[in-house]
Chain A
């Protein structure tokens, strides 16, 4: 593809050889679900930790016909989301949206949209630390051997510690999963509330870690199981409140402090899902009023 006129940059910022290298890594990652494929991560015009891995994966996948959505903690309008969306609008001439249903490519940090994903959609995760065994075993040579030999018992010692200290599995985000019954995988810092959405999802899920130079993937319709104990099964977060704006009681809620007198409010973290529900509710009200 040719350069974007007037910018001096190649289409989607990265040069074609780099994109080809990343696509090769992605193909390998899709072929071996959950396996971390090393790739030559490039310097991007944003700092490490801001989504350089995700942005490189997106750059390698995006085409002019794509519709891009970018979310940060479920929200479409935070700095990180806005900057990355604008970056691709400029460098890839691509249409952007905030609607989950309309997007073909969704880059995300820390959430999976509440609206169920559809076949053909691609979800790109930004990953800070891809290695699930990192805090248990500092040696990279050793963690690779453990993956190769499927020695994952160590991960359960962490969950054991959780129960011994807190009486339950207190890990609430970046909750370890096993993909396709084989590889142990870190799902990036999404809340464990979102873990069940990865299981058998019809969408393609790709994880990019820029600083650590790793890409891994969960192909559509692949088993993703969260680790647990028989007598302490995996559970997701629950709230007593429902969303103060749209009334949803089955979504992931953010607690927002309203004033300095202890006032607080729970709202959906997924802004698109919340506004869609509000719009639908007000449309229904208008209809009722007319009738």
Chain B
């Protein structure tokens, strides 16, 4: 079986400094990969290079598209790459303010991708938005309210709904639970795990929270200084860390 996403030798330099260096990994359909590491370790650079937002200096990102099979994302035309980014991919930002259109209602936020793909029937777009708000456990009676009227956790769920409306096969998430309180985090993680299972979503989740990785991801990679220091099955890496840095990371988590 061909992998959904294959990343090989991906490097991105900021001047002489490496944002991420020679990173390779594969991701299968329906698999969730966590990228952990301290801040400044290159997690977000890696995510941006893979998701078509930041052009890498070298390396390839091959995505197995629905119609044309495996294609190198960075060899596609900009039009095709942007098309991919709003159909087969989703991107959940750390701050919902970046990922949402704050001056448009919740319904318009969810429906935006559909309209971008040519949906021109108001009633159907709205029905779809109601369905997705229900799916992420938002009160669909609030469909006409602005995102600013929602709490942080609700905004984050709205952002997820907005991404899932085109039924993407791969979702990129940049610290999706950061800045939320612990109970809301737990609920969001629960929801994400449920949706991923239900829709067969593959995801790459950047996080510095090992608990998030433990709960959601089948596999994880640990980054430091732009390079990968350890990778493997999540339980394996967390229960039996091999690299000194991973050991430090695991041991520095407070036990409640």
Residues of A within 8 A of B (CB): 145, 149, 151, 153-154, 156-158, 160-161, 163-165, 228-232
Contacts and interface: CB of A to CB of B under 8 A. Distances in A.
B121 A145 contact: no
Most B-side CB within 10 Å, residue of A145, A161, A164, A228: A164
A157 B123 contact: no
Nearest to B118: A153
Given A149-B78, A151-B82, A165-B144, A160 B122 contact: yes
Contact of B79 (A149, A156, A161): A149
B107 interface: yes
Q: Would you list the 3 A-B pairs with minimal beta carbon distance, nearest first?
A: A153-B116, A156-B115, A229-B122
Nearest to B116: A153
A135 to B, nearest CB: 9
Given A160-B111, A164-B107, 6 more contacts: A145-B78, A157-B111, A161-B105, A164-B144, A230-B120, A230-B121
A153 B112 contact: yes
Contact of A160 (B78, B79, B125): B125
B144 to A, nearest CB: 5
Given A149-B79, A157-B112, A232 B104 contact: no
25 contacts: A145-B78, A149-B78, A149-B79, A149-B82, A151-B82, A151-B116, A153-B116, A156-B115, A157-B108, A157-B111, A160-B107, A160-B108, A160-B125, A161-B108, A164-B107, A164-B108, A164-B126, A164-B143, A164-B144, A165-B105, A228-B120, A229-B122, A230-B120, A230-B122, A231-B122
A171 to B, nearest CB: 14
Interface string B75-114: 0001100100000000000000000010011011001110
A232 B118 CA distance: 15
A228 B121 CA distance: 9
A154 B107 contact: no
Contacts of B125: 160
A254 to B, nearest CB: 31
Nearest to A227: B120
A160 B106 CA distance: 11
Interface of B: 78-79, 82, 101, 104-105, 107-108, 111-113, 115-118, 120-123, 125-126, 143-144
Nearest to A145: B78
A230 B79 CA distance: 26
Given A157-B108, A160-B125, A164-B108, A229 B82 contact: no
A156 B104 contact: no
Nearest to B77: A149
Most interface-central of B105, B107, B120, B123 (chain A CB within 10 A): B120
B120 A229 contact: yes
Contacts of B116: 151, 153-154
B127 to A, nearest CB: 11
Given A165-B144, A232-B122, A157 B82 contact: no
A157 B115 contact: yes
A165 B145 CA distance: 10
Nearest to B146: A161
A291 B248 CA distance: 109
Nearest to B117: A153
Nearest to A149: B79
B166 to A, nearest CB: 11
Contacts of A164: 105, 107-108, 126, 143-144
A157 B119 CA distance: 11
Contacts of A165: 105, 144
Nearest to B105: A164
Contacts of B122: 160, 163, 229-232
Interface centre among A149, A160, A161, A165 (most CB of B within 10 A): A160
Contacts of B123: 231
Contacts of B78: 145, 149
A12 to B, nearest CB: 42
Contacts of A151: 82, 116
A145 to B, nearest CB: 7
A229 B111 CA distance: 13
A147 to B, nearest CB: 12
Contacts of B144: 164-165
A231 B104 contact: no
Nearest to A156: B115
B104 A161 contact: yes
Contacts of B104: 157-158, 160-161
